[in-house]
């Protein structure tokens, strides 16, 4: 612990950083500060000064407010509370929604410029829903305190905060959230409201061992239905699956798409984006969806059954690609080079190994669905070094009132 930790400082907030924090400087030192907005002057408490290059701080009060500041959409996360008592999960809730999107645009543009040398004019597109960015979550995980009380963690900690409402949740989810019940012995409580059928409240232990087929649910996207496990991955915003389906369909360059090539859907989950490609290009499409979760690939096989050329493979993506590279003959290599790859990695991005394997296979185009702008920018730079350039890019506000932003990028051989 350094000598500044716990000290209060008055700082000018200059710009936004990745991760839901703003940037300020104090005596030449960079400070990443939460609950502030660029342009504000705030009173903040230093929470971490052990790093030589920067400190972290939390806003205690606002001295000069931004014109974009509004009352927090979630009273439990308001600046009126002590920082340690503020609920986490809505870290942009004090910012006007249009300015939230502008800040997310800046983070995406700055990341691509700094890490990949790419300039983008992409704006962050809104999804349908209330104008203040509430009422969109169809899935919420509440943590459980030692006394059995459920709630979100406090921002940047593992302390459970009791709350009386969940404003980011859809009205249907908020109506069944067991906020005043106790769950002794559980690690967390999952509330899931699928678009078809009954909602679920699932108390769980510390592992995923309690996942099971007893909790199969159905999600509808347009005219298509997907089966999945209630605790399996699905987009959280009630309009996200449909938005990404259309965005991926639009991002694929038809002139480069060969339905009979070896098309791939990597980190494919239960087959949402593979089905998006299939629905755009017809039931003769060949596409293999790859996912490490065997329960998800079981469902993907079922969800993609109408495409005779579709297959669902359970494997880690890097191992699957390594195997392809090692075993593919001349005909299959040609088929892979003519192929389109849908790439939807976790927040950490695809990374060096997966990018290197893809570059070696040399597909005609890659549609990259990214939930982290810094990971995307890093991977775009890696692809550029391998001869791929960024073409189209769109960004979507899939997580209003948080710092998260989704992007869909198309990469083609330069």
Query: What is the chain's length?
Result: 414
Interacting residues of 379 by C-beta distance below 8 A, sequence separation 6+: 349, 350, 351, 355, 368, 370
State whether 246 and 352 are in the same domain: yes
Mean pLDDT for the chain overall:
95
Binding residues for S-adenosyl-L-methionine: 235, 267, 291, 344
285-286-289-294 Cα dihedral, nearest 10 degrees: 110
pTM to 2 decimal places = 0.95
Question: Which residue(s) pair with 369 in the sheet?
Answer: 408
**CATH code for the domain in which residue 49 is found:** 2.40.50.140
pLDDT at 42 over 80: yes
State whether 340 and 404 are in the same domain: yes
Residues 104/77, Cβ–Cβ less than 8 Å:
no
Q: How far apart (Å, rounded) are the C-alpha atoms in residues 185 and 204? A: 9
Say what percent of the chain tops pLDDT 90.
Answer: 91
187-236 tens-digit pLDDT: 999 999 999 999 999 998 655 455 444 589 999 999 999 999 999 999 99
State whether 354 and 321 are in the same domain: yes
State whether 157 and 248 are in the same domain: no
Beta strands 150-151; 188-192: pairing state: unpaired
Average pLDDT over residues 305-324: 97
Any idea what DSSP says for residue 237? B
State whether 113 and 30 are in the same domain: no
Q: How far apart (Å, rounded) are the C-alpha atoms in residues 390 and 116? A: 10
Q: Is residue 1 part of a domain?
A: no
State whether 210 and 250 are in the same domain: no
State whether 26 and 126 are in the same domain: no
Active site residue 371: yes
- Catalytic site residue from 140, 371, 380, 395: 371
Q: How far apart (Å, rounded) are the C-alpha atoms in residues 29 and 92? A: 24
pLDDT at 1: 54
Q: How far apart (Å, rounded) are the C-alpha atoms in residues 108 and 245? A: 21
Q: Is residue 172 part of a domain?
A: yes
Q: How far apart (Å, rounded) are the C-alpha atoms in residues 92 and 110? A: 19
Domain's final residue, options 45, 69, 93? 69
146-156 tens-digit pLDDT: 999 999 999 98
Q: Which two tokens stand for residue 326?
A: 């090692």
Average pLDDT over residues 66-77: 98
**DSSP-assigned letters across all residues of 5-31:** TT-EEEEEEEEEETTTEEEEEETTEEE
Residues 150/412, Cβ–Cβ less than 8 Å:
no
Q: Is residue 199 part of a domain?
A: yes
Domain's final residue, options 183, 215, 247? 215
330-374 tens-digit pLDDT: 999 999 999 999 999 999 999 999 999 999 999 999 999 999 999
Average pLDDT over residues 45-52: 84
pLDDT higher at 197 or 52: 197
pLDDT at 52: 73
262-283 tens-digit pLDDT: 999 999 999 999 999 999 999 9
pLDDT at 101: 98
Q: Show the 3-state SS of 312-363.
A: EEECCHHHHHHHHHHHCCHHHHHHHHCCEEEECCCCCCCHHHHHHHHHHHCC
Binding residues: 235, 267, 291, 344
Q: Which of 184, 165, 202, 182 is nearest to 74 (CA)?
A: 165
pLDDT at 182 over 70: yes
| Residue 198 belongs to domain spanning | 139-215
In the chain, the number of structural domains is: 3
pLDDT at 194: 97
Q: Is residue 319 part of a domain?
A: yes
State whether 315 and 204 are in the same domain: no
């Amino acid at each position: 612990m350094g000598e500044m930790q716990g000290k209060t400082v008055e700082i000018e907030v200059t710009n936004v950083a990745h991760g839901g924090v703003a940037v300020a400087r104090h005596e030449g030192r960079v400070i990443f500060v939460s609950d502030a907005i660029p342009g504000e002057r705030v009173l903040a408490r230093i929470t971490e000064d052990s790093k030589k290059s920067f400190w972290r701080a939390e806003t205690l009060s606002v001295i000069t407010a931004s014109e974009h500041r509004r009352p927090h959409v979630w009273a439990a996360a308001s600046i009126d509370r002590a920082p340690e008592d503020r609920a986490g999960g809505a870290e942009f809730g004090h910012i006007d929604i249009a300015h939230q999107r502008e800040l997310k645009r800046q983070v995406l543009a700055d990341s691509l410029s700094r890490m990949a040398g790419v300039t983008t004019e992409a704006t962050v597109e809104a999804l349908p829903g209330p104008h203040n960015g509430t009422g969109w979550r169809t899935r919420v995980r509440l943590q459980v305190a030692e006394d059995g009380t459920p709630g979100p963690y406090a921002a940047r900690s593992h302390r459970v905060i009791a709350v009386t409402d969940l404003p980011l949740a859809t009205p249907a989810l908020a109506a069944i959230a067991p906020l005043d019940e106790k769950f002794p012995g559980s690690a967390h409580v999952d509330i899931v409201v699928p678009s078809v059928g009954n909602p679920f409240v699932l108390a769980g232990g510390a592992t995923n061992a309690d996942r099971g087929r007893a909790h199969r649910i159905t999600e509808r996207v347009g005219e298509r239905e997907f089966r999945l496990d209630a605790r399996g991955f699905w987009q959280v915003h009630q309009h996200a699956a449909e938005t990404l389906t259309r965005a991926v369909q639009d991002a694929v360059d038809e002139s480069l798409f060969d339905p009979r090539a070896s098309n791939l859907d990597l980190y494919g989950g239960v087959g949402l984006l593979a089905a998006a490609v299939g629905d755009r290009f017809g039931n003769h499409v060949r596409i293999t969806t790859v996912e490490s979760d065997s329960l998800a690939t079981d469902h993907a096989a079922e969800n993609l059954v109408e495409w005779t050329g579709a297959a669902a493979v359970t494997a880690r993506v890097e191992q699957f690609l390594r195997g392809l590279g090692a075993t593919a003959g001349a005909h299959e290599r040609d088929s892979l080079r003519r192929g389109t790859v849908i790439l939807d990695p976790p927040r950490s991005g695809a990374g060096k190994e997966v990018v290197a394997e893809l570059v070696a296979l040399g597909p005609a185009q890659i549609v990259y669905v990214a939930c982290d702008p810094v990971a995307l920018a890093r991977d775009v730079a890696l692809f550029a070094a391998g001869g791929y350039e960024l073409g189209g890019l769109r960004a979507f506000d899939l997580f209003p009132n948080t710092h998260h932003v989704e992007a869909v990028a198309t990469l083609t051989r330069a």
